[in-house]
Amino acid sequence: MELCDIILQPQNRNIRFTMLDKDEVKETIVNVARHIFSRFGFRKTTMDEIALATRKGKSSIYYYFESKEEIFQAVVEKEANLLKAELHEAISHFEDPREKLKAYILVRMRALNKLANFYDALKNDYLSHLEFINVIRKKYDDDEIATVESILKRGIENGEFVIDSPHLASIAIVTAMKGLEIPIFVEVNEDEVEKRIDNLVNILFYGLIKR
């Protein structure tokens, strides 16, 4: 086992005097598993490690979850929700749609960069049989488009934009945003990143701004 000692401290069997809610225990397991999965990915994370890190017997983990996949699913869902929340928070600080979008792209990229391992696991073929991943991805994508759409709509209300279909436009923007990600994952130079985002946002908004 090569996990950080903080998580690994051994402990005696838990002695409690009131029952914990089953969901609370599940939550704890998911939180611990999140760290391990995000560091090592799905394959390289073992149930033994999750058990050790949660200070439980391996069989106890199976009392709460059917399988490793089920834990992974819960983790991915949590990860997606946290990212979503972080993104909504980030754009809330700006009024100008252009600034909002810039903040969105920046935060999104940094977050995905931090989760690079995780993200790899999701992209890779050997997990494509996990149907739930596609479901989560779809839900996440829809939210992304809806968020961008709401930014655009605000611009339209302002009279700042002229857009026939904010929905189609937002799909285009999200697609472009994803395209931007790939080269940025490789070289992580902060200045360069800022510049590229600026460029992208300028290009994207070029056709939309009222003149």
Partner DNA sequence: CGAATATTCGACTAAATAATTCGAAATTAA
Partner DNA sequence: TTAATTTCGAATTATTTAGTCGAATATTCG
Residues 19-48 that bind DNA (CB under 7 A): 19-20, 22, 25, 43, 45-48
- 52, two tokens: 């050790």
40 binds, among DNA, its own copies, none (CB under 5 to 8 A by kind): its own copies
Q: Quick count: other Cβ atoms within 10 Å of Cβ 170?
A: 21
19 binds, among DNA, its own copies, none (CB under 5 to 8 A by kind): DNA
Q: Is 146 in the site for DNA (CB under 7 A)?
A: no
| Contact pattern for DNA over residues 55 through 74, marking x by CB under 7 A | xxxxxx-xxx-xxxx-----
Stretch that binds its own copies, among 3-11, 89-97, 156-164, 188-196 (CB under 8 A): 3-11
The span from the CA of 60 to the CA of 102, in Å, is 45
User: Minimum distance between the CB of residue 187 and its own copies, rounded to whole angstroms?
Assistant: 11
DSSP code at position 67: -
User: Minimum distance between the CB of residue 191 and its own copies, rounded to whole angstroms?
Assistant: 20
The span from the CA of 158 to the CA of 197, in Å, is 23
CB 204 within 8 A of CB 101: yes
Q: Is 7 in the site for DNA (CB under 7 A)?
A: no
Burial tier of 122 (Cβ tally within 10 Å: 0-12, 13-18, 19+): buried
120 binds, among its own copies, DNA, none (CB under 5 to 8 A by kind): its own copies
| Residue 169 to residues 18, 81, 164, 209, 210, Cα–Cα distance (Å) | 54, 24, 9, 13, 15
Binding residues (CB under 7 A) for DNA: these are 13-20, 22, 25, 43, 45-48, 55-60, 62-64, 66-69
